[in-house]
């Protein structure tokens, strides 16, 4: 019997998938889970616990949930709680509003794929109050998370124009979702570099250099801007944002503004400004039609109503005079104050070490220090087939149980090496991590110098 080819194998797999890389889910993280399992099985290690500083998973890092939001979610999931006197009236009012907008009064029902109308109207109101300019709720589309929204919008550009592959400008360093998605969709990647010497600033001259190079191989159609930065933690100035918008207008580029961490700004002389404040970002009729082709129920690509209820609560927090106002403000400020403290701790600690420099974490939840690796360490890394910063991260993991992500997974200037760490660990654990890190790094530099 003649041998049959497998219906799906590496030989006939989508070539874009084979090229796909995603540092946050790579071998380093896989090894960290293996180590965690070994610790549970009693395998002896130079440490007793894993310290995960690799992902922006707030609650996994011990961040306490906001009571008001959890109360609203509890009532929309189990409406009998609406009669419970221990739940405050302002939380009950939000829960009833959400339930009244659901078919059958249940969060288990389907919704319009753009999201519940009441949620979209509330988001538009939030944006209008934030920016001081009108926001049309019918232009608001709720997605199943930021990553899902990014993929949906980028997919709109996955076609050739004038015989050329469409290209998207992305910052370097960048959140690896962008590079992975561009590879997945067969879109050309146009890198523009942030200036580490200017606290990861964005220079318009660099944008012009990048697009000039990009035009040689593709049709530039969009630009991604991450503000506050991930993994770099910088906050763009108003002037910088205006320059980017003018550049995008001149080059006829669609702007994708990733503003996930807009509440996370720590330095007193920094302020978040949204791109929406200066420019209408989305008017894609065909894109809206494509989004609306999906039923909002159990489909993983559309926003679950429980998630929309959370979004409604976040954009409609307790107001002054309402029963939950004081406790809500206290909890929110406690979280932000703690993050601000850790943002200062991380830069101060890394800058005190030999062969490391670290720009201030102005916003978001990360630091992206630069490590000056000895030539011997670089040679050993290459002999193992690893990027030098990934080699450093593996050594750190095996000797301390601290999991970070190598800078090569985010992109960096050739010849430089970095890593990303979160500042989400609770303060005591974070101090322990920095102490262990200092000890490891000192020994590492000594051994390879």
**Which residue did the predictor score with more confidence, 311 or 18?**
311
Q: What mean pLDDT is predicted for residues 81-85?
A: 97
User: Which of 177-186, 200-209, 291-300 is predicted with the least confidence, judged by mean pLDDT?
Assistant: 291-300
Q: pLDDT tens across 237-251, in order?
A: 999 999 999 999 999
Give the pLDDT band (50/70/90) at residue 298: very low
The answer on pLDDT for 296 being more than 50 is no
DSSP per-residue letters across 178-217: HHHHHHHHT-EEEEEE-BGGGTSB--HHHHHHHHHHHTTT
pTM (two decimals): 0.89
The answer on pLDDT for 285 being more than 50 is no
For residues 21 and 404, is the Cβ–Cβ distance under 8 A?
A: no
Buried b or exposed e, range 202-212, using 16+ CB within 10 angstroms: beeebbeebbe
Domain co-membership, 165 together with 267 = yes
Most confident of 144-148, 257-261, 298-302: 257-261
The fraction of the chain above a pLDDT of 90, given in percent, is 79
Q: Give me the residue label for tokens 């220090």.
A: 369
* 69 Cβ contact partners less than 8 Å away, ≥ 6 residues apart: 310, 313, 314
| In-domain check, residue 71 | no
Q: pLDDT tens across 312-342, in order?
A: 999 999 999 999 999 999 999 999 999 999 9
Domain span holding position 23: 16-61+331-448
Which pLDDT score is estimated for 438?
A: 97
Nearest to 426 by CA among 355, 354, 341: 341
The domain spanning residue 214 has which CATH number?
3.40.640.10
Buried b or exposed e, range 365-397, using 16+ CB within 10 angstroms: bbbbbbbebbeebbebbeeeebbbbbbbbbbbb
For residues 253 and 169, is the Cβ–Cβ distance under 8 A?
A: yes
Give the pLDDT band (50/70/90) at residue 26: confident
**Which residue did the predictor score with more confidence, 177 or 193?**
193
| In-domain check, residue 134 | no
Which pLDDT score is estimated for 6?
A: 78
The answer on pLDDT for 193 being more than 50 is yes
- How many residues does the structure list for the chain? 449
Which pLDDT score is estimated for 60?
A: 86
Q: CB pairs under 8 A, 24+ apart, for 141-147?
A: 141/114, 141/115, 141/282, 141/288, 141/291, 142/114, 142/115, 142/116, 142/303, 142/308, 142/311, 143/302, 143/303, 144/300, 144/301, 144/302, 144/303, 144/304, 144/307, 145/307, 146/258, 146/260, 147/177
The residue among 226, 256, 271 that closes a domain is 271
Domain co-membership, 440 together with 363 = yes
Which pLDDT score is estimated for 301?
A: 42
| In-domain check, residue 375 | yes
| In-domain check, residue 385 | yes
**Structural tokens at position 199:** 């606290």
The answer on pLDDT for 287 being more than 90 is no
The residue among 271, 289, 320 that closes a domain is 271
The domain spanning residue 49 has which CATH number?
3.90.1150.10
| In-domain check, residue 253 | yes
The answer on pLDDT for 21 being more than 50 is yes
Domain co-membership, 348 together with 243 = no
Buried b or exposed e, range 35-53, using 16+ CB within 10 angstroms: beeebeeeeeeeeeebbbb
**Structural tokens at position 416:** 């430089």
User: Which of 138-152, 172-186, 274-288 is predicted with the least confidence, judged by mean pLDDT?
Assistant: 274-288
Q: pLDDT tens across 390-443, in order?
A: 999 999 999 999 999 999 999 999 999 999 999 999 999 999 999 999 999 999
Q: What mean pLDDT is predicted for residues 97-124?
A: 92
| In-domain check, residue 192 | yes
Q: pLDDT tens across 152-177, in order?
A: 899 999 999 999 999 999 999 999 88
3-state secondary structure 68-89: HHHHHHHHHHCHHHHHCCCCCH
| In-domain check, residue 86 | no
The fraction of the chain above a pLDDT of 70, given in percent, is 91
Which pLDDT score is estimated for 279?
A: 55
Domain co-membership, 47 together with 150 = no
Longest dimension (CA), the chain: 80
**What's the mean per-residue pLDDT of the chain?**
90
Rounded CA Rg of the chain: 24
The residue among 219, 253, 271 that closes a domain is 271
Cis peptide leading into 90, omega within 30 of 0?
no
| In-domain check, residue 127 | no
Which pLDDT score is estimated for 343?
A: 96
**Structural tokens at position 154:** 């980028």
Domain tally for the chain? 2
The C-alpha atoms of residue 347 and residue 368 are separated, in whole angstroms, by 9
Domain co-membership, 150 together with 267 = yes
The C-alpha atoms of residue 396 and residue 440 are separated, in whole angstroms, by 7
Q: What mean pLDDT is predicted for residues 37-49?
A: 94
Domain co-membership, 267 together with 150 = yes
The answer on pLDDT for 299 being more than 50 is no
């Amino acid at each position: 019997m003649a041998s049959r080819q497998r219906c799906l194998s590496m030989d006939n797999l989508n070539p874009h998938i084979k090229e796909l890389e995603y540092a946050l889910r790579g071998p380093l993280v896989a090894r960290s889970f293996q180590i965690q399992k070994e610790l549970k099985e009693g395998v002896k290690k130079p440490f007793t616990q894993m310290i995960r500083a690799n992902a922006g998973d707030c609650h996994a890092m011990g961040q306490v949930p906001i009571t008001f939001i959890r109360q609203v979610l509890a009532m929309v999931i189990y409406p009998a709680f609406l009669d419970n006197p221990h739940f405050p009236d302002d939380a009950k009012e939000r829960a009833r509003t959400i339930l009244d907008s659901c078919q059958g009064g249940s969060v288990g029902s389907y919704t319009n794929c753009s999201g519940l109308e009441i949620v979209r109207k509330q988001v538009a109101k939030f944006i209008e109050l934030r920016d001081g300019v009108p926001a049309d709720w019918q232009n608001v589309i709720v997605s199943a998370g930021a990553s899902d929204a990014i993929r949906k919008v980028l997919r709109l550009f996955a076609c050739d124009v004038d015989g050329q592959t469409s290209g998207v400008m992305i910052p370097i360093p960048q959140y690896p979702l962008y590079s992975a998605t561009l590879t997945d969709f067969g879109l050309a990647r146009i890198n523009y570099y942030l200036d580490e010497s200017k606290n990861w600033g964005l220079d318009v001259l660099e944008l012009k250099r990048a697009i000039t190079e990009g035009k040689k191989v593709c049709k530039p159609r969009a630009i991604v801007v991450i503000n506050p930065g991930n993994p770099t933690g910088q906050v763009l100035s108003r002037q910088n944002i205006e320059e980017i918008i003018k550049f995008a207008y001149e080059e006829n580029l669609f702007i994708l503004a990733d503003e996930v961490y807009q509440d996370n700004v720590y330095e007193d002389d920094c302020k978040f400004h949204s791109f929406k404040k200066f420019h209408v970002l989305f008017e894609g009729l065909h894109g809206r039609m494509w989004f609306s082709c999906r039923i909002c129920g159990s489909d993983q690509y559309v926003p679950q109503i429980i998630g929309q209820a959370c979004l409604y609560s976040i954009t409609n927090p307790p107001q002054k005079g309402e029963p939950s106002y004081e406790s809500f403000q206290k909890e929110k400020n406690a979280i932000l104050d703690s993050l601000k403290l850790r943002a200062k701790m991380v830069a101060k600690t890394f800058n005190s070490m030999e062969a490391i420099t670290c720009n201030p974490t102005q916003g978001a939840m990360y630091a992206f220090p630069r490590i000056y690796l000895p030539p011997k360490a670089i040679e050993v890394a290459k002999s193992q087939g690893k990027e030098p910063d990934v080699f450093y991260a593996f050594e750190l993991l095996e000797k301390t149980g601290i999991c970070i992500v190598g800078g090569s997974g985010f992109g960096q200037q050739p010849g430089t090496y970095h890593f990303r760490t979160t500042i989400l660990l609770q303060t005591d654990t974070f101090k322990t991590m920095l102490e262990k890190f200092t000890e490891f790094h000192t020994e590492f530099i000594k051994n390879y110098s």
